């Protein structure tokens, strides 16, 4: 893995203009925490990825009605948009975003979206007949999928009219696949006596739950990465803990808090977002919820409002001033490893808050960049013991899959990993091509590179020695033909740094955190 110097400020092009003044300061290509449902930012948490795969399986096997539920802000619309993207070339799709209409209006909307011509005054029976004729005339190997978002707003009579579409079938399968996406109230609605027939036709049900603390950490890191972050900004452990607690693991709330926290960090000229910035973000969000008030608007609120209201020229001048002030200073890239006699440089920035509780010690800056990052990997399984994980690795390697094991939480459990992929599409292709149906695609852009210290070690000795230390090992051949050793896949710099620090404590090794 060859390293490149850190790109200079402004080297990353902005591919989507966004009204976020911190983008240039943090060298981000786009806003990482926008609340719009962009499939590119989909975080493949366990139940989100499982929901997508389960729905696609149900669609491809023509099961009929599929239910997707989740609390407000858990990512239902993002999942729906992702389904549309993944089904675009494999199915004919219709997407309904405002289903609180009559049954006749819903049928008309489905026909319009499917480009099926019908008279404007057609009866409900005529609409269904036209849809049935279209379904029979098309290639029935390609599913016809109707995805209805916010389905909990549908009147009961409209849902009952929708049920009639399940009668459109052949001897082999249903002609139309319907995905009903809605809040938990939809389950209560389907539980009523009037809709019991529709409930009986639900062939698959997926529920999106809130993110765990660990998933929240990975979610923040993944969205920053997709937006163009390569270590130039990071959230401290304390900041992520506060975000998870305040948002209760709800992705939409996480986005709002993190977006305001980045503004707070920009105002402070900080590249490490800490608990202090999150508290300021929460205070501002609280004041917005309470409504405008002369007494309730915080100093940060006034600064934030000014930032968003001032002319672009003023914003440009502020950015130029900040850049000029740092022009002759080394640019710390928050969240990366620096070798300093096997220790960490934890010197806080000169403009850090004086309150020690607000500025936790951070592991310091400069993470080597790769020519082409491969941030995604495959989790093939998880095990309670190292022996079981090692046996699984052996079985996968016999199949030609370069797997390796990794200890998690100081050996409380072990997971088996494989692959490195530049994007989700490539990872999914590898997963399908190798029949890895139960594998989970995860975002893990960091690993630890291990090289011998002063005492030379043979190729066989390094994996054996690392294994005794409790670390699985993956060997790769560099372009120059040298053997290189890597251990662990990590979403967060803190986790990777702890492993590197432990290995560096042994005089026989030198370990550094690198981007895959």
Spatial distance between the Cα atoms of 345 and 347, rounded to a whole number of angstroms = 6
Confidence of residue 157 (pLDDT cuts 50, 70, 90): very high
Give the list of residues 6+ apart from residue 417 with CB closer than 8 angstroms, or none. 377, 378, 379, 380, 403, 404, 405, 406, 444, 489
Tell me the domain boundaries of the chain.
46-208, 213-358, 369-515
Helix ranges restricted to H, 114-250: 124-137, 156-163, 185-190, 196-200, 213-226, 237-247
Cα–Cα nearest to 162, from 206, 212, 198, 130: 198
pLDDT of 489 over the 50 cut: yes
Give the list of residues 6+ apart from residue 288 with CB closer than 8 angstroms, or none. 301
Q: Are 334 and 348 in contact (CB under 8 A)?
A: no
Spatial distance between the Cα atoms of 20 and 26, rounded to a whole number of angstroms = 11
Q: Are 48 and 210 in contact (CB under 8 A)?
A: no
- Is the whole-model pTM more than 0.75? no
* Phi and psi at residue 220, to the nearest 5°: -65, -45
pLDDT digits (tens, 9 = 90+) for 264-313: 999 888 888 999 999 999 988 886 655 444 343 444 454 444 444 443 44
CATH number for the region 46-208 comes to: 3.40.50.300
Length of the chain: 516
Among 18-22, 181-185, 310-314, whose mean pLDDT is lowest? 310-314
* Phi and psi at residue 487, to the nearest 5°: -135, 130
Cα–Cα nearest to 376, from 434, 442, 446: 442
pLDDT of 353 over the 50 cut: no
- For the four alpha carbons of 227, 231, 232 and 238, in that order, the dihedral sign comes to positive
Superfamily for the 369-515 domain: Sporulation related repeat (3.30.70.1070)
Instruction: Please give the average per-residue pLDDT across 235-246, as a whole number.
Output: 93
Confidence of residue 19 (pLDDT cuts 50, 70, 90): low
Q: Are 144 and 109 in contact (CB under 8 A)?
A: no
Q: What is the 3-state secondary structure (H, E, C) of 18-74?
A: CCCCCCCCCCCCCCCCCCCCCHHHCCCCHHHHHHHHHHHHHHHCCCCEEEEEECCCC
CB-facing half-sphere around the CA of 441: CA atoms within 13 A: 26
pLDDT of 243 over the 90 cut: yes
Cα–Cα nearest to 176, from 134, 205, 204: 134
Spatial distance between the Cα atoms of 218 and 379, rounded to a whole number of angstroms = 14
**369-515 shares the fold of 46-208:** no
Give the list of residues 6+ apart from residue 410 with CB closer than 8 angstroms, or none. none
- For the four alpha carbons of 479, 484, 488 and 493, in that order, the dihedral sign comes to negative
In three-state secondary structure terms, 127 is helix
């Amino acid at each position: 893995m060859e390293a490149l110097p850190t790109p200079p400020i402004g080297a990353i092009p902005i591919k989507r203009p966004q009204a976020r003044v911190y983008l240039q300061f943090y060298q981000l290509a786009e806003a990482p925490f926008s609340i719009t449902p962009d499939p590119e930012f989909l975080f493949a948490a366990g139940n989100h990825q499982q929901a997508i795969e389960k729905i696609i399986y149900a669609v491809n096997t023509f099961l009929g009605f599929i239910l997707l539920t989740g609390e407000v802000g858990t990512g239902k619309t993002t999942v729906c948009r992702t389904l549309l993207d993944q089904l675009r070339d494999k199915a004919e799709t219709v997407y309904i975003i405002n289903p609180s209409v009559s049954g006749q209006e819903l049928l008309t909307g489905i026909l319009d979206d499917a480009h099926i011509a019908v008279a404007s005054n057609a009866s409900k029976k005529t609409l269904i007949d036209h849809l049935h004729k279209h379904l029979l005339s098309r290639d029935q190997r390609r599913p016809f999928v109707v995805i209805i978002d916010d389905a909990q707003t549908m009147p009961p009579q409209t849902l009952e009219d929708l049920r009639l579409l399940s009668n459109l079938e052949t001897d082999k399968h249903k002609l139309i696949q319907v995905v009903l996406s809605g809040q938990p109230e939809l389950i209560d609605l389907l539980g009523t006596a009037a809709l019991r027939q529709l409930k009986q036709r639900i062939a698959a049900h997926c529920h999106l739950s809130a993110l765990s603390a660990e998933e929240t950490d990975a979610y923040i890191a993944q969205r920053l990465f997709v937006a163009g972050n390569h270590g130039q900004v990071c959230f401290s452990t304390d900041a992520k803990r506060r975000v998870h607690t305040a948002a209760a693991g709800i992705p939409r709330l996480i986005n709002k808090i993190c977006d305001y926290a980045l503004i707070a960090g920009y105002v402070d000229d900080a590249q490490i977002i800490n608990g202090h910035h999150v508290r300021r973000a929460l205070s501002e969000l609280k004041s917005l919820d309470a409504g405008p008030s002369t007494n309730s608007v915080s100093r940060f609120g006034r600064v934030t409002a000014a930032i968003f209201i001032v002319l672009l020229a003023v914003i440009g001048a502020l950015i130029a001033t900040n850049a000029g002030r740092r022009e002759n200073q080394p640019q710390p890239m928050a969240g990366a490893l620096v070798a300093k006699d096997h220790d960490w440089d934890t010197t806080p920035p000169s403009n850090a808050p004086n309150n020690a509780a607000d500025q936790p010690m951070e592991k310091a800056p400069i993470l080597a960049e790769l020519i082409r990052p491969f941030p995604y990997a495959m989790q093939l399984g998880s095990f309670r013991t190292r022996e079981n994980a090692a046996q699984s690795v052996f079985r996968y390697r016999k199949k030609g899959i370069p797997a390796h094991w990794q200890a998690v939480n100081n050996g409380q459990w072990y997971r088996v990993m494989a692959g490195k992929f530049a994007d989700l599409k490539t990872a999914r292709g590898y997963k399908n091509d190798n029949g890895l149906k139960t594998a989970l695609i995860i975002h893990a852009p960091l690993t630890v590179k291990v090289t011998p210290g002063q005492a030379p070690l043979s190729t066989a000795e390094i994996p054996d020695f690392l294994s005794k230390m409790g670390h699985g090992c993956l060997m790769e051949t560099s372009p120059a033909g040298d053997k290189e050793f890597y251990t662990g896949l990590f979403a967060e710099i803190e986790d990777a740094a702890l492993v590197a620090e432990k290995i560096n404590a042994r005089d026989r090794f030198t370990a550094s955190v690198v981007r895959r």
